[in-house]
Structure 1
């Protein structure tokens, strides 16, 4: 350890000595004209003047199916095969295969291209075909490559194509793109040769140094020996602006330096006259001092400084008042490190002292991490998760490691502007994670949670762990003054070839815990519920994996501490997300058949669900029979089920509860098979489809634990007829009409069904509602109907009337009974054309769907009314940004549902969006609600936007709630101030949300849903 400290101290002392000597030397210099040379890997050919020559300002674009690339003598060599193409400006060259030699200088890219096999050259106004062709191209706008299967780093010197190309390239003539002539052979020129001789090969272990003027003004050179050192040194002092290129730095390709003034020290025993190109052994000392507007490009790093010292042999250096940049494709921008001193410790390793790092591109960043030391290095990793098919080393057969820029820093303070917010003693992470570990911050206050502070953290960065590709891992730390401190974890992952098998997979997980000291407020009559436990938590995991032959594996795991935790803390997940379950599901689907096996168990005793131990299904869809005269569809299912009713609430006096009438503590074998035959045919313009379906089903235990056998059959006829009329002369720019076509379809479906078992005896093993809807039904019986549920509002009978369970593949096949019904529909489409005259497209201008059902046995099937299930859906697309919508759904028996709504959504400008809606919900038990709601979002400027929403119940004469938010979108942060009021919960709150634009941001349990609520709850 002491030896390492001595070595570093000696090296820093040498750097300081060089800087002092350099400043003294730069006091006076002499002028020496630089030698001018050029290099492109081959003799520079002279060209005839042509009518068309691609401009050097145009980029060069290269495309191919396959490539093999390597570096040889500081020139990139590529062999391309399959649909090869090169484009520069209006010139396009195509062939089956080609070889490219690419040399890059500071400002230009020069390529020499050999094309072979069906060569075609397209120039403005003319094309030409050749067997082979050799051309040279130059660009100052960069080289773009689109290779579909690249394979870098594999040398192919024995490739026959490369040998032919090399031989052709060495000929004493060259080819140029011409309008009328493509191959021009030049006779040897008389007199002195103007082009430089071919470049000799550069042996391994040598470096090459080239110097160019930094501008159009030549640089000045003073050269003299120094005999005061052992061994003696040769010193060159260059002023007036110089660009210096060093080739032969292993692993970095070329080091590009430019400065106003430089001093070079090298071995004086092998003294050379000054030349703009120097070749020497890599072991030869070569040290450089740079001063004034320094720019250094080294691999993927770009550095700027006022003064710098660089040792080419040791590949180490020191930069003062410096800034380092590196571009990260995953971040889509540069990462910057600014420091009083940056030391290059070795190849690809830098140490910045008294530094700050940021991903902000502003001169004065909006955010930064101030650190005492920042260590930047290249790390090589071989990922094991989410890699797909990694690139393999052709020699070892092992995956090629990925190179990533990595940052480790000490004594870190996260600053917004100049205000310090957080401190961490040590942070390490990939450079693309330049942001501070905190990725989300919210402050709020309301009547349910009290004062709130919610934070989200990048756990990889916080713990200094290697980030697995395709994964995201975040942590939560929250404080609620009325409830307690909450902690949580969440993450996602995705990838391919898990455990070496051919598959594609993805998944996510979330968990949260809080020691809750408060009361739950779920709205209406549930404003002060005592939780059944103070230790409350939520765990939810999902995994999905797809494999060849249509195989899909799905796994889920979920655990909740109590009945109301999800509704209180994760309201949006409870109301709109998938149920929290624990299951394993395997499925295979091929063409028109599939099978699946599911195993499921209940971990949460307060939810109503069915354990399947296990259950298997087999499907066959639309199998043609008798020469396509018949179609056969089949579904068979067998399993062992345990139907488990959910337990009663912990607060029965406040949280009212009635058990669902179709659920009982039943278990046993459940089996079913359904088969349907269809025989579609055309009767003139009418499509007719007679069908017959039969089912045999068995339940070992029904609602009263009795055995049930059921035979069910259904026969019917479906028909439809379509008509249309076109009005080509209809034109109205105000209503965006450019021609009009009216298309309508009449549909009818008559069916007669008979069942050998009564639906009221069958336990509902296959759920048709999610948990949120079931909780609502458990409360509805007492809250709305006084303790007795009318049969008109039993969901089983509604499902039978609508035919929800009569399809062959319907998952809840229990929901069928005796029935005779004629279902009718009349569907309209008014369509017009839009878009430019040469690219017009057809779009719906107005749609109307009308539906009704006729029940011949009305007393049995529709509560005494012949007609029911009257529905309508209307849409008028007044323009691309304005839509008028209306919906209605009615039944005609006493106390039946009467639902309708109408809404107008408009975005007449890009800055404002308006939505106004009126909705009626009316039914038995005195339920009558008419809610008027409005939402306005307005973008005031590029930085500021605002939104407001309100809801009022005209039927109950009650305010439902309001939300107001103001958002500022900055370069580095999005800040939103929100206020809300919710009449149902009696909650009013205010919240401030800060979302970093440089990192990921997720929703916490308090989140927007709990801070701002739902005004229609």
Structure 2
């Protein structure tokens, strides 16, 4: 067979042979046949034949929602439940519950895992589902576990899962991922092993004091009694540098302090000779004065001061001209508090006066928070939603609170250098949120919004709430001199086990309000639109939840004050984000079937929308019949729909509007069922798929509120053939070629369709455009075509020509009609190999796809032209960083589309990125645009980067706009200066964005473009 294909390949290049192939396709003889030759080695073996063994040098990672664990005969046994996952290398195993036996030796960890309930095994290149599975794993790099809730020392011998796992473990199993095997122990590293010597345990009620020289120079001691106090005291004066360790301080553990000079007062009634180690009762007074280069270490706190006093009995102290430093793991760096005076009130509780706090490690930071008082304490915190990720107390079963450093401060001024910017009277938050609540600041000025100040705030920090894992909560306060003051909230979240059920969820929301005193400028003929209300707002909330058995729940809620608010203030979201909707959607998908129910309603009257009250869909895909001779695909839908056409604009003289012709005020029952049968077979090297599809549909009200019954049927034949030729000796380092394979396929799809009802009578209940496109169509008829839409630009007839609604599962099934068409494609892939010799991978070097459609009834189906929808798509990957691309789409009838574009994208280094593109959009009615665009970004140094972009319309000889930005990345701040010009709106503006680099929560350069979503740009 391979010889036949290669023989055919030699003649493909001849034009006559190609014509013969296409003529054959016209008769229904085309479809893809699988390649018979392998370019990069033999075909991959089946799952049963393959055997993947993860490397023992890779660690084992285990995660679950809940765990019980205990130890039996030096083996740690664990029962895991809820979203269980275990991974070693590229092997990933998942199930609802697991039992794990973990035995640890000196160099290796051996782990036996029993998985049960929706077991899935993902290996490189293959996956498999099981009801249960037993797996043995070995690693030399340790076992890591991430459990949300755990209970220790709880044996569960009567647990049914443990019984099944133990029974399964006692018999051999054929599906082991990796059998236990003899491990060659690596020789130990040279040199002795050192283990820390245990400290002698102190008797309860006693403390121990030890003194050491601070350097190689011994210290000096003077000792004398003081009889002027009651009771008498013994005084020791130590000079020359001393290090003092105190064990047994109430609740504090060890206190480590050192200074140039120390004075100690203790009870004189229990006088003893001075010694480098002293033991005494915890109730015995022991007071210390320190002076000169003082350092005190206590737990995670490190203090420095010039002078200090410390009372070991009370666990309190005072430090003058001091600095406190503590490491915050959540932040990934140290927090510094500098003050004229720091008082230690108890363990982990400090009060700093006339102080400033910062996360910067510079001596004098570029930014800081100056406060009159800063109070730092170790606080036990409980999440305010759910139980969080805390461990459970094995005795009470209750969550064990987390302990974390907490900071409260009064009279706070945020300083950049020595310049005060913002003031807050009181702030309280965890130490990782020490920074001022503002997370972004932007100044700007343009012709639409005037002078602008946009601020973004961390609401957790501002309100003094504990930051919840997996959540982000931002506040927004903006000022626009031409428009007013705007306030907003935004955030997102993700997590699992919502309300105690097994699920994974995520979501987010955005709210914004402004009392707007200006007019909207949306470009071209819409530069001074008066809003229908001055109180303008947007609310958009979204939630998605995935549960076992393939269940997915999606909820959305959205409300906008008026027609143009989102396009004016959130233009990026209006153009490219999902529409703001209010709906509830429940879906279940299992294997090749699924069902869904959706309820949706419209809260705004200025967009075309369909209310579904509700709608249900049932899908069945590729069900084999008669021993795989036939394949059955089905889609049925029923619902009560209510079409709501968009209301006219508030000022239609300026904001032109034409209602879409396929949207009417119709409502009622909408039902449909589609079924398709396919019978694939091979005819020599051709793969043939004859098919037949039938549909019965019902609309209680059509475009003229009439009842519509439609029967639709389609029959056809898809065919393809694939060729392959290997050029193993082709090699060129200049063109990045290491061998070359040419893979080519010829495809054809002939179909004959007939409908009992004309499409022009059917209302479009199922939307196929988003709101931004519909809004454009409502204006296009008047401002481009003078009030009459040419039929070649009717979007529904274009969808019929392209076959957008012919598929069984297509959501907008209304868009079909009588049609006869042959769709043809000629696809090419030139592939090579790249990477190191032992790990080479296949990649596309060049691709070319050519498409065309032939319409036998051209007058009815294609405006009198036999051929149409001519398309081409080309890509040349010159290297890993450079791509040349070109696309074209043409129709041959008068006034047809003539679209093409060509672009070159190059990122030759990590510092320079360039894109140059040329695009043409041309059609009937005088639509003609040729836009040349270019953009460049360049990192000049570690501190400076710049970007520039421009666009010019050669067809209309109009400058479309430019942008320029310069960014400085400093140690404390990231600042960006941007300038823009937009010909459409006539707007020119300048903006300065400042973002503090706050530890791991700081915003990087890539976040500049998305810091503020408002359109004051």
In structure 2, the CA distance between the partners of 1:376 and 1:63, relative to structure 1 (3 Å rule), is farther
Paired with 1:400 and 1:709, the residues of 2 have a C-alpha distance of 65
Q: Quote how far apart the aligned CAs of 1:219 are.
A: 4.2
Aligned length, in residue pairs: 865
For 2:348 and 2:913, locate their aligned partners in 1 and report how far apart those are by CA, in whole Å. 51
Equivalent position of 1:323 in the other structure: 323
Q: Residue 496 of structure 1 contacts residue 505 of structure 1 at CA under 8 Å; is this kept in 2?
A: yes
Aligned partners of 2:946 and 2:965 also within 8 Å: yes
Q: 1:827 to 1:262 in 2, by over 3 A?
A: farther
Query: Relative to structure 1, is the Cα distance of residues 1005 and 849 closer, same or farther in structure 2, using a 3 angstrom cutoff?
Result: closer
Q: Which fold has the larger relative contact order, with Cα–Cα distance below 8 Å and residues 6 or more apart in sequence?
A: 2
Measured after TM superposition, the shift of residue 914 of structure 1 is: 1.3
Residue 445 of structure 2 aligns to a residue whose secondary structure is: strand
Q: CA–CA distance in 2 between the matches of 1:1003 and 1:387?
A: 35
Cα deviation code 1:665-705 (max 9, x no counterpart): 00001111122222323333332222222222111111111
1:829: Cα distance to partner? 1.4
Query: Which position in structure 2 is the counterpart of 1:1010?
Result: 1015
- The superposition leaves residues 221-273 of structure 1 with CA deviations (integer Å, 9 ceiling, x where unpaired) of 44555454434444444444443333445665433333333333444444555
Which one is further off, 479-488 or 644-653? 479-488
The separation in 2 between residues aligned to 1:781 and 1:360, in whole angstroms, is 59
2:145 to 136, 145, 148: 148
- 2:455 maps to 455
1:467 matched to 2:467? The reply is yes
Residues 97-496 of structure 1 aligned to structure 2 (within 5 Å): 97=103, 147-148=144-145, 201-249=201-249, 252-271=252-271, 273-385=273-385, 389-496=389-496
Whole-angstrom CA distance in 2 between matches of 1:219 and 1:157: 54
Cα drift, residue 977 of structure 1: 1.4
Alignment deviations for residues 86-111 of structure 1 (CA, whole Å, 9 cap, x no partner): xxxxxxxxx96569xxxxxxxxxxxx
Q: Which residue of 2 aligns with 1:947?
A: 947
Alignment match, 2:640: 640
Distance 1:618 1:180, change over 3 A: closer
Q: 1:279 to 1:859 in 2, by over 3 A?
A: farther
Rate the CA distance shift 1:681–1:226 in 2: closer, same or farther, 3 A: farther
Distance 1:208 1:588 in 2: 67
3-state SS of 2:574 partner: helix
Instruction: Flag the 1:389–1:433 CA change in 2: closer, same or farther, 3 A.
Output: closer
Query: Where do residues 545-584 of structure 1 align in structure 2 (5 Å cutoff)?
Result: 545-584=545-584
Q: CA deviation at 1:872?
A: 0.9
Q: Relative to structure 1, is the Cα distance of residues 996 and 292 closer, same or farther in structure 2, using a 3 angstrom cutoff? A: same
1:206 Cα offset (Å)? 4.0
Q: 1:653 — aligned with what?
A: 653
1:878-930 per-residue CA deviation (whole Å, 9 max, x = no partner) reads: 11111111110111111000000001111222222111111000001110100
Distance 1:460 1:197 in 2: 44
Task: Give, in angstroms, the shift of residue 388 of structure 1.
Answer: 5.5
**Structure 1 residue 458, shift from structure 2 partner:** 2.2
Residue 329 of structure 1 and its aligned partner are, at CA, apart by 2.3
Separation in structure 2 between the aligned mates of residue 653 and residue 309 of structure 1, nearest angstrom: 80
- Cα–Cα, structure 1 residues 278 and 456, in superposed 2: closer, same or farther, change >3 Å? same
Contact kept, 8 Å, 1:990 with 1:1011, in 2: the verdict is: no
- What SS does structure 2 have at the residue aligned with 1:909? coil
| 1:48-97 CA distance string (max 9 Å, x none) | xxxxxxxxxxxxx9999799xxxxxxxxxxx99489xxxxxxxxxxx965
- Aligned mates of 1:569, 1:1009 — CA distance in 2: 5
CA contact (8 A) 1:64 1:81 kept: no
Q: Distance in 2 between matches of 1:341 and 1:614?
A: 67
**Mapped contact 2:148–2:389 kept (Cα < 8 A):** no
Deviations 1:416-457 (A, max 9, x none): 011111122212222212221222211111111111121222
* Cα deviation 1:537-592 (Å, max 9, x = unaligned): 11111112222222222111111111111111111111111111111111122222
Task: Provide the rounded CA distance (Å) in 2 between the counterparts of 1:1005 and 1:881.
Answer: 25
Match of 1:509 in 2: 509
1:505 CA displacement: 2.0
State which drifts further: 995-1004 or 937-946. Answer: 995-1004
What pairs up with 1:604-643 in 2 under 5 angstroms? 604-643=604-643
> CA RMSD of the aligned region, Å?
3.3
After TM superposition, give the deviation of residue 611 of structure 1 in Å. Answer: 0.5
Give TM-score scaled by structure 2 length.
0.80
Partners of 2:531 and 2:110 in 1: how far apart?
A: 78
Counterpart secondary structure, 1:779: helix
Aligned counterpart, 1:531 = 531
Change (3 A) 1:583 1:196: closer
1:765 aligned onto 2:765:
yes
Whole-angstrom distance in 1 between the partners of 2:964 and 2:1015: 14
Partner Cα distance (2:63, 2:246) in 1: 31
Q: Point out the more displaced range, 688-697 or 411-420.
A: 688-697
- Stretches of structure 1 that go unaligned for 5 or more consecutive residues are 1-60, 68-78, 84-94, 100-112, 119-143, 159-176, 185-194, 1013-1017
Checking the alignment, whether the CA contact within 8 Å between 2:699 and 2:709 is kept in structure 1 is: yes
Q: State the alpha-carbon separation in 1 of the partners of residues 1010 and 547 from structure 2.
A: 35
Alignment pair present for 1:724 and 2:724: yes
How far, CA to CA, are the matches of 1:708 and 1:313 in structure 2? 91
Alpha carbons 2:151, 2:391 under 8 Å: kept: no
Change in Cα spacing, 1:248 to 1:696, as seen in structure 2 (3 Å) is farther
Aligned position for 1:968: 968
Partner residue of 1:31? none
Q: Which whole-Å CA distance do the structure 1 matches of 2:329 and 2:260 have between them?
A: 32
Contact 1:681 1:687 in 2 (8 A): yes
1:592–1:268: structure 2 CA closer, same or farther, 3 Å change rule?
farther
CA gap 1:668/1:279 in 2 versus in 1, 3 angstroms: farther
CA offsets 1:773-798 (integer angstroms, 9 cap, x no match): 00000111111111111221111111
The question of whether the paired residues in 1 share the 8 Å contact of 2:387 and 2:399 is answered with: no
SS state at 2:908 partner: strand
Shift of 1:389: 5.0
2:176 maps to which residue? none
Change (3 A) 1:466 1:64: closer
**Alpha-carbon separation, structure 2, partners of 1:1000 and 1:65:** 30
Pairing 1:799–2:796 present: no
Quote the residue 1:587 is aligned against: 587
Q: Distance in 1 between matches of 2:243 and 2:371?
A: 33
CA contact (8 A) 1:387 1:469 kept: no
Distance change in 2, residues 1:295/1:115 (3 Å): farther
Alpha-carbon separation, structure 2, partners of 1:181 and 1:992: 56
Aligned equivalents of 1:777 and 1:1003: distance in 2?
A: 33
- For residues 796-945 of structure 1, the aligned pairs below 5 Å read 796-945=796-945
Is the 8 Å Cα contact of residues 868 and 892 (structure 2) preserved in structure 1? yes
Using the alignment, how far apart are the partners of 2:253 and 2:776 within structure 1?
A: 68
Q: How far apart are the structure 1 equivalents of 2:634 and 2:853?
A: 27
The offset of 1:341, in angstroms, is 1.0
CA contact (8 A) 2:109 2:143 kept: no
Q: Residues 668 and 662 of structure 1: is their aligned pair in 2 closer, same or farther, counting only changes over 3 Å? A: same
Aligned twin of 2:83: none
What is the match of residue 44 of structure 1? Answer: none
Structure-1 separation of matches of 2:529 and 2:191? 90
- Does structure 2 retain, via aligned residues, the 8 Å contact 1:607–1:645? yes
> What displacement does 1:203 show?
4.0
Matched, 1:696 2:693: no
